[in-house]
Amino acid sequence: MALIAPCMKPGMAVTRQFYGVILARSYLSTSVVDGVARAKPKPKKVRRKTPTTGAFDTSVSLWEERVAEAVTPLWRLAYHQQLHVKQQSQEHILSQFSSRLSHLISSAQQSPAMASDTPGFTVLPIMQSPVRDGYRNKSTFSVNKGVDGNPKTVGFYVSAARDRRIVCVNADHLLNMPEKHKQVARCYQEFIRLSPLEPCLLFHEGGHWREVTVRTNAQRHTMAIVYFHPQTLVPEEIAVHKTALVDYFTKGPGAVCELDSLFFQESSMTRCGHEESPYQLLYGQPHIYEELLGFQFRVSPDAFFQINTAAAEVLLTVARDLCFPEGTAERGGGGGGPAGTLLDVCCGTGAIGIALSPAAERVVGVELVQQAVEDARHNAAVNGVLNCRFLAGKAEVILPEIVSQLGSSGEEERGGGGGGVGGVTAVVNPARAGLHYRVVRALRNQPAVRRLLYISCKPEGEAMRNFLELCCPPDPQKKLEGEAFSPRVAVPIDMFPHTHHCELVLLFER
């Protein structure tokens, strides 16, 4: 199954116009080599940069370089070279997908020749990030022993291979971190070094101060979340240290950070959400707000939001054009009115569903985190979006019933097709673990879902299994009995400059 530029057939959802728009926006041009659509970069000589932090002690600078190599491994490359590396990586992953799918199809048909009859799909050039340095709107800094042995060091840690030590290094030199995040980390380090309490490096060894998370928006509004292990302290004792934390960041040296929100979470677990251990607002506003494609979004301490806001707008634009190529007139597209139902799986704070709502008759979002669902509902209301409904729960538990209801209601009301005039279009944006097999089964077996957009931050992982189960021949043993999807177009988007990671948007249709 080759990754080729497919012949455009009448009725194909991805129009010529969309390809032209995406190519015009992208950084690279494409060509077809050996039947595979590839990017044509013009690599130049590698340009080596130096960290923008001034002079350091030699031993410290070596550790900083190690952290830079771990967190931003492509930082030495010019940006066009980074894009070239990522384009090749995505093409390799998708070639593996094509090969494995072709094998499944030919095996099911018991005819090797069937592989040549499987539809090809285009891999478009990678979309570049509008912002390359300091793009992260969320960063979490750990606490551990520094190069000098001080256990109250805030930053990122790497291991020393020879003696297996963990060394925590400040993040001032990292290119993907905005200065405001680094500033909060420096101040938090100063605060815990002034505190009489010890840091919590290993839970069983005691200590209290843990990591700090910093969230910012385009207006530079800043939220800080401090994590704290209570150990055996009573609430009255903890209250003293919470007061000291607030005083430091509002009246003391930390006031330079100009925090808009300061949260505090007491937890004896490595990670837990608001339900298990509530985020306590110690100072300021309970939320910060971000804007995407003209819509306002409320962001809570633990709500998912794309790390790179500027690139998230690129992602949403691509998603909108792929999901509704003929129905985006209200936002500058070239088509008619709203079409069908949009099913937004793993919807987070509702960014995708709300941004695409003008092109859909209705939007149904599903999300595990209750606070994120509350944010999504608020975001729909504050933006005056009336055709969105957001549900909280595990997608694998509630999605089968939702999809069935969408399909049956559409067939009853419109005489077939399900979900409205355009049927149901599903958008899935799971975590790195991919979709639960029951979610894949529900989407695959519901005939009303005609189009599916898969957004993956790790397509070489469990997402690959999802791709294959969506597109493989019917498999009664896995209860995959519905009509198979076919891949149509793949669009890599560079959401994470200076790293190997990028987001892959893959459109399936049937």
- Binding-site residue set for S-adenosyl-L-methionine: 306, 367, 429
Burial class of residue 206 in the structure, from the number of CB atoms within 10 Å of its CB (0-12 exposed, 13-18 middle, 19+ buried)? middle
Answer whether CATH 3.40.50.150 is correct for domain 1-132+307-510: yes
Specify whether the CB–CB gap between 359 and 324 falls below 8 A.
Answer: yes
Q: Do domains 1-132+307-510 and 138-291 have the same CATH topology?
A: no
* Residue carrying the six token digits 């992260």: 136
Q: What is the phi/psi pair of residue 88, to 5°?
A: -65, -40
Answer whether CATH 2.40.50.1070 is correct for domain 138-291: yes
Per residue in 333-362, pLDDT (tens digit) is: 444 556 789 999 989 889 999 999 999 999
Q: What is the phi/psi pair of residue 357, to 5°?
A: -60, -35
Catalytic choice (388, 457, 471, 472) = 457
Burial class of residue 50 in the structure, from the number of CB atoms within 10 Å of its CB (0-12 exposed, 13-18 middle, 19+ buried)? exposed
Domain boundaries, the chain: 1-132+307-510, 138-291
* Residue carrying the six token digits 């900083």: 64
DSSP symbols for 145-165: -BTTS-S-EEEEEEEETTTTE
457 is catalytic: yes
Q: What is the phi/psi pair of residue 12, to 5°?
A: -65, 135
Q: pLDDT in tens for each of the 510 residues of the chain?
A: 444 433 333 333 333 443 344 434 443 344 332 333 444 444 444 444 444 444 434 467 889 999 999 999 999 999 999 999 999 999 999 999 999 999 998 887 654 433 334 457 899 999 999 999 999 999 999 999 999 999 999 999 888 666 677 899 999 999 999 999 999 999 999 999 999 999 999 888 899 999 999 999 999 999 999 999 999 999 999 999 999 999 999 999 999 999 999 999 998 877 776 667 899 999 999 999 999 999 999 988 988 889 999 999 999 999 999 998 875 444 444 445 567 899 999 898 899 999 999 999 999 999 888 888 998 999 999 999 999 999 999 888 888 788 777 766 554 444 444 555 458 899 999 988 899 898 899 899 988 899 999 999 999 989 999 999 999 999 888 899 899 999 999 999 999 999 999 999 999 999
Find, among 166, 204, 170, 203, the residue nearest to 184 by Cα.
170
* Residue carrying the six token digits 């936002």: 331
H or E element that contains 340: none
Separation between Cα atoms, residue 379 and residue 210, nearest integer Å: 31
Strands (E), 47-164: 122-123, 138-144, 153-160
Q: What is the phi/psi pair of residue 237, to 5°?
A: -70, -40
